[in-house]
């Protein structure tokens, strides 16, 4: 069974859909069951889409910024669908603000959701994985984790406001590699994955972060999802401890990008 957080829309929903198409039962997590903001997509729609295609899915409603919710998420997911073999930490708070405009509340939310929640969810699922001698943990990261290079610095880093988000994702990358080392002997793989370019999701579109004038910098959802699938089904003895980007990983593995239903090659992967 796979547990995917932040799965009401975007990358999380797409990964959950593909995992279900590959035969996994999937528990999906988000703050609300139905629409709660201006963005399209909801947890109930993700579950309905998976079930309509013949898959098994269950919704777990939780605000992962609240520490008390994390144990409940794992408990409810396992009660509905069984032991967790795959954990995908995708939920994230992406604030793009200049340093001096980051409030204490936003700082706390960013670290609670982007760093502490993946840490605690991993703590909750690792004992079961260890007892079964198998498991995969995937943390969804971002290219903003890489530190700026300069001088001079690029306009994105001087005006993009990615400092807080990138800092949390850098912490997530370090956590991924470190945990991989600690659980390697237990047959558990841990990896961090980021898209090479912006992925067209409702959240990214709402933030106005898509470089529409540079289509080569917009990555198809299918590319990111194919890379995610490779990392949660790969040999835990060799494909672990990686902090990787989607396209280079697929090229390294010689893997064909498939559609989200897994039935045919995706025509727009090139």
User: Which residue among the candidates 95, 96, 107, 165 is catalytic per the annotation?
Assistant: 165
Residue 153: DSSP 8-state? P
| 16 token code pair | 């959950």
Query: Residue length, the chain?
Result: 270
- Are the CB atoms for 177 and 145 separated by under 8 Å? no
| Bridge partners of residue 58, in order along the sequence | 27
| Per-residue burial over 18-52, b = 16 or more CB atoms within 10 Å of its CB, e = otherwise | bbbbbebbbbbbbbeeeeeeeeebbbbbbbebbee
Question: For the residues of 182-233, what is the DSSP string, one character each?
Answer: HHGGGTEEEEEEE-SSEE--HHHHHHT---TT-GGGEE-HHHHHHHHHHHTT
Task: Give catalytic status of residue 165 as yes or no.
Answer: yes
Active site residues: 165
């Amino acid at each position: 069974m796979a547990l995917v957080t932040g799965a009401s829309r975007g990358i999380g929903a797409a990964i959950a859909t593909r995992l279900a198409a590959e035969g996994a039962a999937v528990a999906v997590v988000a703050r609300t069951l139905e629409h709660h903001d201006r963005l399209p997509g909801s947890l109930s729609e993700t579950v309905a889409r998976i079930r309509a295609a013949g898959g098994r899915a269950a919704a777990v409603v939780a605000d992962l910024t609240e520490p008390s919710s994390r144990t409940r998420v794992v408990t409810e997911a396992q009660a509905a669908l069984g032991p967790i073999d795959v954990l995908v930490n995708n939920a994230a708070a992406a604030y793009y603000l200049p340093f001096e405009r980051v409030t204490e509340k936003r700082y706390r939310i960013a670290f609670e959701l982007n760093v502490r929640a993946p840490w605690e969810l991993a703590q909750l699922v690792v004992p079961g994985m260890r007892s079964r001698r198998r498991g995969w943990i995937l943390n969804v990261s971002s290219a903003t984790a890489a530190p700026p290079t300069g001088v001079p610095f690029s306009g994105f880093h001087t005006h993009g406001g990615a400092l807080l988000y990138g800092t949390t994702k850098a912490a997530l990358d370090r956590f991924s590699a470190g945990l991989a080392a600690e659980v390697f002997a237990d047959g558990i793989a841990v990896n961090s994955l980021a898209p090479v370019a912006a992925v067209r999701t409702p959240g990214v579109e709402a933030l106005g972060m898509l470089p529409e004038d540079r289509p080569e910098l917009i990555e198809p959802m299918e590319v990111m999802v194919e890379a995610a699938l490779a990392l949660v089904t790969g040999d835990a003895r060799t494909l672990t401890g990686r902090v990787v980007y989607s396209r280079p990983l697929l090229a390294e593995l010689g893997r064909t990008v498939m559609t989200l239903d897994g039935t045919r090659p995706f025509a727009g992967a090139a």
